[in-house]
């Protein structure tokens, strides 16, 4: 397409052409941007809200931050090492190295229930211990019906001391898992903590780190043995890697378990729509010239 200054000296025509080009520019602007990470909010799980985190897959319970159908995990999930509800005296306490498969590897008892998101090329857990003991929270399974005693990957919170939203030099962290995005994608990730029978080992914050954003923190969480799902919105390019971390403030740091990870892709019709509008606008402009 050839555009020159002699095509029209009419200010209205030039204005329409500029608007067309601006719309096209907006439609493709995200393709050149680096990752963005934003904290959306924390879904709590209490009797007052129908235990929304524990009922993450049950469409009959209203959710605060779902994108479709009152469910979390519509694009993928990792429900770490659950056990059948009322499992008697059975327990899990298995040490695992960094780079583990979040409990999905064959041979383990009570495997992690998962559906890998199509937009991830890899995901792996930090060094820690797979745990599931009596008194841990009861969660729905992926089918929205079956009940499980929820397990977790518990990681040491011993990196620090660093700044947190609570103040300077008052926080320590442990990396719970890392993941790499395979295609340009916008999605929400939910990270469930404080589901393990007592608030002693719950984190004060959950964070998401990327090279372009640094660490983006959740709000300060209640360490009260009522599950919290910290939800972040990520716009990522192909090949970008992110690390999810659990943080505790000075004087409380020890270990912190992560029980579940959910992924929900964000529908983005606006980009394609803007491109179509921009091209249609240019086509109309061209016809008017002829």
What is the pLDDT confidence band of residue 23, given thresholds at 50, 70 and 90?
Answer: very low
**179-231, pLDDT tens digit by residue?**
999 999 999 999 999 999 889 999 999 999 999 999 999 999 999 999 999 99
The 10s digit of each residue's pLDDT in 220-279 is 999 999 999 999 999 999 999 999 999 999 988 999 999 999 999 998 754 444 445 545
Q: Which residue did the predictor score with more confidence, 280 or 45?
A: 45
CA-CA distance, 81 to 110, in Å (whole number)?
6
- Helix or strand or coil: residue 72? coil
**Whole-prediction pTM:** 0.84
What pLDDT is stored for residue 33 in this prediction? Answer: 66
Give the Cβ contact number of residue 203 at 10 Å: 32
What's the confidence (pLDDT) of residue 22?
47
- CA dihedral (101, 105, 110, 116) positive or negative: positive
* High-pLDDT (> 70) share of the chain, %: 81
Is 30's pLDDT higher than 80?
no
Alpha carbon distance 283, 132 (integer Å): 62
In angstroms, the CA 3 to CA 68 distance is 44
Q: What is the mean pLDDT of residues 157-176?
A: 97
pLDDT band at 13 (very low <50, low <70, confident <90, very high): low
């Amino acid at each position: 397409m050839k555009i020159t200054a002699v095509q029209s000296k009419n200010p209205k025509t030039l204005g329409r052409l500029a608007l067309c080009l601006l719309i096209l520019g907006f439609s493709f602007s995200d393709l050149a941007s680096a990752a963005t990470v934003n904290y959306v909010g924390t879904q709590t799980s209490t009797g007052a809200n129908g235990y929304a985190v524990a009922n993450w897959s049950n469409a009959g319970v209203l959710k605060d931050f779902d994108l479709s159908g009152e469910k979390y995990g519509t694009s993928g999930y990792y429900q770490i090492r659950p056990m059948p509800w009322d499992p008697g005296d059975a327990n899990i306490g298995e040490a695992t190295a960094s780079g583990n498969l979040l409990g999905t590897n064959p041979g383990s008892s009570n495997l992690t229930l998962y559906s890998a998101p199509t937009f991830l090329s890899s995901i792996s857990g930090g060094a820690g211990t797979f745990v599931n003991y009596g008194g841990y929270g009861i969660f729905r399974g992926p089918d929205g019906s079956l009940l499980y005693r929820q397990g977790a990957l518990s990681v040491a919170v011993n990196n620090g001391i660093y700044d947190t939203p609570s103040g300077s030099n008052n926080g320590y962290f442990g990396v719970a898992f890392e993941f790499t995005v395979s295609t340009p994608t916008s999605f929400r990730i939910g990270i469930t903590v404080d589901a393990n029978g007592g608030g002693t080992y719950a984190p004060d914050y959950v964070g998401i780190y990327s090279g372009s954003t640094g660490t983006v923190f959740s709000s300060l969480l209640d360490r009260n043995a009522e599950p919290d799902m910290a939800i972040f919105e990520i716009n990522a390019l192909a090949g970008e890697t992110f690390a999810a971390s659990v943080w505790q403030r000075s004087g409380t740091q020890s270990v912190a378990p992560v029980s579940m990870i959910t992924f929900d892709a964000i529908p983005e019709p606006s980009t394609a729509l803007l491109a179509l509008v921009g091209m249609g606008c240019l086509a109309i402009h061209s016809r008017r010239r002829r």
